[in-house]
Amino acid sequence: MITETAPFAQIDSGILRAHPALHLDLSALANDPGFTSSVSKMKWDVVGKHFTDLTQHLTRYNNYNRRETRLWALKMGTGSIPPDLENKFKATVPEAIDSFQSAFKSLDNCLSSFEQAGMHEVLERHSDSFTSRYALDETNVFGHMTMNYFRHVGFSTPMIDDFTHKFQPTHFEFIKNVSGGKWSNLHTITNQSVEARIEVLKYTQQHGFDYIRGGSPPDWAIKAVGILGTVIGAVIGGITGAWIAVGIVVASQIAVALICADGGLSATICDKIGHLKTPIFNF
């Protein structure tokens, strides 16, 4: 049992032990031969800065994304969008592009920080256990903290449901089944997804929503328009492969926080993870 003055004292270790499978997987991670050394090498102040920037930029981008989704629904349902409303929306696209690019630049820096400390090799062995078994299940503390974060940055329930549906075939074993077992592939997956999304944003800035056929079921709503024909379907609803890397980074840091809560790391190390001691991750 952790003390009231210990880092992450708001999470009673008894809560973790009440979920034996989660506690076992956290113990396996904590006892991995490379875990303690890589956590010690991690520049947590740098990671914290990148992660805070990621959170802020994602929040701004998702404000745009929710408005975009509402306009998609309007066009699909009625066949048209009032010109003044569409033009006002088009004027916000440059800011959305900046927020989106900045978010994933920060994410890429997070991925690199894990690599520089050697933590990526540990997470290649353990990350899928947490994303597949706990991250999307709010009945356990891990899933509760994960969903708190995603809701904080503006992911709506339909967006989360879309993500869940899209990646169900992977069993949410993202490292194994999406990244080919290699952490380094996350950079490529993310960059390709970001580039595809930017293409759609730039097209929207110039042409609005003319790629949507109004009055048709959503599965029939996308019209191929040049290069967009290969990418629009992948980004409808804002769900792309880039979100996989976000999920892995969030899950990895929550796992470290919970190991701290369970007394599996020294207070000195846990004190450095200040960016995780916020209401965003409250249990």
User: Is 237's pLDDT higher than 90?
Assistant: no
Is residue 180 included in any domain, yes or no? yes
What is the number of other CB atoms lying within 10 angstroms of the CB of residue 91? 10
Give the total residue count for the chain.
283
pTM above 0.95, yes or no: no
User: Is 229's pLDDT higher than 70?
Assistant: no
| Amino acid code (one letter) for 36 | T
Is residue 18 included in any domain, yes or no? no
> What's residue 166's pLDDT?
83
With bands split at pLDDT 50, 70 and 90, how would you rate the model's confidence at 14?
Answer: low
DSSP designation for 153 = T
Is residue 277 included in any domain, yes or no? no
Q: Per-residue pLDDT tens for 41-98?
A: 999 999 999 999 999 999 999 999 889 988 988 887 888 899 999 999 999 999 999 9
Q: Which of 38, 20, 40 lies closest to 124 in space, CA to CA?
A: 38
> What's residue 79's pLDDT?
81
Is residue 214 included in any domain, yes or no? yes
> What's residue 223's pLDDT?
46
Mean pLDDT along residues 181-193: 91
Query: Domain range for residue 239?
Result: 32-256
Is residue 275 included in any domain, yes or no? no
Domain count, the chain: 1
Residues of the chain with pLDDT > 70: what percent?
A: 82
Is residue 141 included in any domain, yes or no? yes
46 touches 111 (CB < 8 A): no
Is residue 6 included in any domain, yes or no? no
Six-digit token pair at 46? Answer: 């740098």
Is residue 221 included in any domain, yes or no? yes
> What's residue 52's pLDDT?
93
With bands split at pLDDT 50, 70 and 90, how would you rate the model's confidence at 266?
Answer: confident
Find how far residue 198's CA is from the centre of its chain.
18
With bands split at pLDDT 50, 70 and 90, how would you rate the model's confidence at 200?
Answer: confident
DSSP assignment string, 244-273: HHHHHHHHHHHHHHHHHHTT-S-HHHHHT-
